[in-house]
Amino acid sequence: MASTTLKGALAGLIALAGLMASAEAQTQGKLSDKSVHTLMDYAWQILPSKFSTPDGKVIEVDKKKREGNIVPVENGRDIIRVGYASAQAQVCELWEEQQANYDTLMRRELQKKKWTDQQLLYITTLHRMTIHAVAGKLKVEEKDGELKVILEPIKPGEGKCTDEQKAKIRETILAYVNLDAPSDKEAAAGQKAPPAAAPKKK
C-alpha cells in the first residue's frame, strides 16, 4: 500500500516539475488541480507544529486539523504562481526582485485580514515549497511506511540566466508588485501603498 502511494506521489511530483518548467503555463493559469493539490499536500507535511517568529511570537499548529490550518485551493494556486516567480528570480540571482515578490505576497495576504497565524505560516511554507520544487530541490522518500518530504539546499549560482531572461523575470515581478500601486491622484493625496522592495541581500 505504501509503495503504491509513494509511486503516486512521485508521479505527481514529476508531472508537477514538468508543468512548472513552463513560465507560459504559469502566467496563463494552466497549473492543474492535481499539481496544486500535490504541492499543497507537501507543504502541509513540512509545516512545523511549532514555530517562533523573529519577534518571539510562538505559532502552534494542530497537525491533526489540516482544513483549519491551510488555505483554499484557489488561494493555494495563486500562492504557487507567486512562488514560481520567486523561484525564477532566485535561479537568476535577482535577490531584490525575489524579496519584493515575497513581501508583496505577504502584505496582500495580511491586508485581507482573513487568515489565522497558522494559515499565514502555511502560506509562507507553500511559497517556499514551490521555490524548491521549481529548483529541483524537493525530494519525496518513504520512511517507516510514510512519505517524507525533504527540501534540499539551493545553492546560488547553480542556474544560468541570460540578460533577456532576467529582464523578463524583472518585468513579471514588477507588474505583480505594482498591481495595487496607488494612482497618481492617490499618490498626490499622500495615499501611498506600503513599500514592497527589500534591501539588498548581504
Of 6-15, 119-128, 139-148, 156-165, give the lowest mean pLDDT range.
6-15
Q: What would the grid cell of residue 121 be?
A: 505560516
Query: Pick from 117, 119, 131, 145: which is nearest to 89 by CA?
Result: 131
Instruction: Specify the higher pLDDT residue, 122 or 136.
Output: 122
Percentage of the chain exceeding pLDDT 90:
43
Q: Could you give the CA distance from residue 90 to residue 96 in angstroms, rounded to a whole number?
A: 10
Q: Is residue 194 assigned to a domain?
A: no
Q: Is residue 196 part of a domain?
A: no
Domain encompassing residue 15:
2-188
The answer to whether residue 172 is domain-embedded is yes
DSSP result, 113-127:
T---HHHHHHHHHHH
Q: How many CB atoms lie within 10 A of CB 9?
A: 18
Pairing of strands 138-143, 146-151: antiparallel
Q: What is the pLDDT of residues 75-115, one digit of tens each?
A: 999 999 999 999 989 888 999 999 999 999 999 999 999 99
pLDDT of residue 25: 46
pLDDT at 197 over 80: no
- pLDDT, residue 147, reads 64
| pLDDT, tens only, 12-23 | 444 455 544 443
Whether residue 69 has pLDDT greater than 50: yes
Task: Give the pLDDT score at 107.
Answer: 94
The answer to the question of residue 201 being in a domain is no
Can you tell me the mean pLDDT for 56-78?
92
Count of Cβ atoms closer than 10 Å to residue 144 Cβ: 6
Distance CA 32, CA 25 (A): 10
Q: What is the pLDDT of residue 160?
A: 76
CB 10 within 8 A of CB 4: no
SS (H, E, C) 138-186: EEEEEECCEEEEEECCCCCCCCCCCHHHHHHHHHHHHHHHHHHCCCHHH
Q: For residue 12, give Cα distances in angstroms to 34, 164, 165.
A: 7, 31, 28
Question: Per the domain annotation, does 199 fall within a domain?
Answer: no
The Cα 146–Cα 148 span in angstroms is 6
**Is pLDDT of 120 > 50?**
yes
151/167 Cα distance (integer angstroms): 28
Is 47 within the bounds of a domain?
yes
Domain count of the chain? 1
